[in-house]
Structure 1
Amino acid sequence: MTKLSGREITERAPQGWVYLLGALRTRLRTGDFATGLALVNTIGAAAEAADHHPDLDLRYTYLDVVLSSHDVGGVTGRDLRLAATISQLADSVGVAAAANGLAVVELALDSPGFPEQLDFWEAVLGYPRDAEGDLRDPYGKVPLIWFQRSGSEEPRQRWHPDLWVDPSEVRPRIDRALAAGGTLVSDAEAPSFWVLADPEGNKVCLCTWQDRG
């Protein structure tokens, strides 16, 4: 299977699905646990038939679904096909796929000592580094930790979160952040990412799939 680009994925994804941090995602707002559990069973049967398996996170009033092809490290046509099947199964019981508000957080350590810091955090967190040198929980329950070399000038921020959102959500989030007293530090790398800061100068990056190849 061929790994698809962000643009190809967003153009072909079923309604209610978004591409965030290397995976296709949706939230099925079931309203109750029993409906969600029944959907898990029907989605599981469809996944077995397709020999391609999503990550399912069942909660009291919703079911989160994550699709990616681990053999190519991204989203492929098989993920799009299974997403369409899942949407049909959900629609058959009156549940719509809706991705509004979905986001994925990863954490970045800004350090002049990188990569010397990496061994320490690998030991403490207890999960291994991937091919890019990031620390990734193999079960996907803890945010990915990545490292970037920074200057040593003080004061400086050691950690900052990267928040991955759908491109349609960037401007509303920036507007709300500015209205709440924040500042737009830089949009030089937009639409790949924007840097914002809270009233005390603590930074966060809003990230999208755009302009990333």
Structure 2
Amino acid sequence: MDTVDQKLSSKQASDEVGEEGWRFLLGTLRASVPVGSLGQGVEVAARAVAACGDDADGHLRVDVRPERVVLTLQSLVQAAVTRRDTDLAQRLSAVVREAGLRTEPELGTAAARSAPAVRSVQMLEIGIDALDIPAIRPFWKAVLGYTDEAESTGPSDPLVDPVGQGPAIWFQQMDQPRPQRNRIHFDLCVPHDEAQHRIDAALAAGGRLVSATRAPAFWVLADGEGNEICVTTWQGRDDNDTP
């Protein structure tokens, strides 16, 4: 395999492009480009595609909105970040700067955080606890119209939306029934430097901290009725592991 196509560890991917405003989230690199109109957003998208050249279709995804463009880089064949992706991130940041704009994780000031349309880049997953994952996985694949993740290796692997609109679904093995606890929960992957702010905001809004024993890999929070969400980052995991 060419060196540029080798998978990077979470730490490698984060370190190589973090200063350019990119954040590592669930095997992808993501950055926002604040824009002033939908037309400007389309122009940014066109510049990004041109900058990626022949690698655009296999690595770049673009979400264009009137207020921002979200750029996502990942080797779609490997479902992971490679050296090619970090190289493309550097290239995209340079192109965006040439247009008088910037790539950023969109953390901003306290005032900016309160604006409805402004928040950090993030990715949402849904976790389903199951006693027999191979038995229920086909149901979720069929009812959602989902597909296997790239390089899927078994009947317990995550499911993904083939058009990238819905959250990924992953399955957590249970060893015994838990009828008194919710068995479907959200996993919210945020930039490592955004996690504490998001947790503080959730607690101030009436939530409670269930567990921080695995932080900063993830914190378990719950609402007032016990419905759980995990706030996750790439940190606190084995840096030698590839995404």
TM normalised by structure 1 equals 0.92
Q: Which of the residues 153, 160, 171 maps onto 1:147?
A: 171
Structure 2 counterpart of 1:30: 35
Kept in 2, the 8 Å contact 1:185–1:197? The answer is: yes
Decide which of 16, 20, 43 is 2:25's aligned counterpart.
20
Partner of 1:88: 94
Query: Which residue pairs with 1:68 in the alignment?
Result: 74
CA offsets, 1:131-186, max 9 Å, x none?
25221112221111111233423321021000001111111112222222211111
Instruction: Return the match for 2:85 from 79, 88, 94.
Output: 79
* Aligned partner of residue 140 in structure 1, secondary structure: coil
* Partner in structure 1 of residue 105 of structure 2: 99
C-alpha deviation, 1:113, in angstroms: 4.3
Q: Deviations over 1:71-91 (max 9, x none)?
A: 333112211111111111111
CA contact (8 A) 2:59 2:76 kept: no
Alignment of 1:166-181 (within 5 A): 166-181=191-206
CA gap 1:118/1:53 in 2 versus in 1, 3 angstroms? closer
Deviations 1:11-41 (A, max 9, x none): 1104211000100000111111121111222
Equivalent residues of 1:115, 1:147 under 8 A apart: no
Provide the secondary structure at the position in 1 that maps to 2:159. Answer: coil
Shift of 1:196: 0.7
Structure 2 match to 1:158? 183
- What's the offset of the Cα at 1:8? 0.8
- 1:9 pairs, out of 7, 10, 13, with 13
Q: What corresponds to 1:40 in structure 2?
A: 45
Instruction: Please state whether the residue corresponding to 1:171 is helix, strand or coil.
Output: helix
Partner of residue 57, structure 1:
63
Query: Structure 2 matches for 1:192-207, cutoff 5 A?
Result: 192-207=217-232
Q: How far is 1:53 from its partner?
A: 4.0
- Partners of 1:193 and 1:206 within 8 A in 2: yes
- Residue 161 of structure 2, aligned match among 114, 137, 142: 137
SS of 1:124's partner is: helix
More displaced stretch, 184-193 vs 21-30:
184-193
Identity %: 38
The alignment's C-alpha RMSD in Å is: 1.8
TM-score normalized with structure 2 length: 0.81
Q: Distance in 2 between the 1:144 and 1:10 partners?
A: 21
Q: 1:20–1:209: 8 Å Cα contact kept in structure 2? A: yes
**Gap regions ≥5 residues in structure 1:** none
Unaligned runs of 5+ in 2: 107-119
Tell me the distance in 1 between the aligned counterparts of 2:127 and 2:23. 23
Residues of 2 paired with 1:158 and 1:96: CA distance?
41
Residues 29-62 of structure 1: per-residue CA shift (max 9 Å, x gap): 1111121111222222222255664111111221
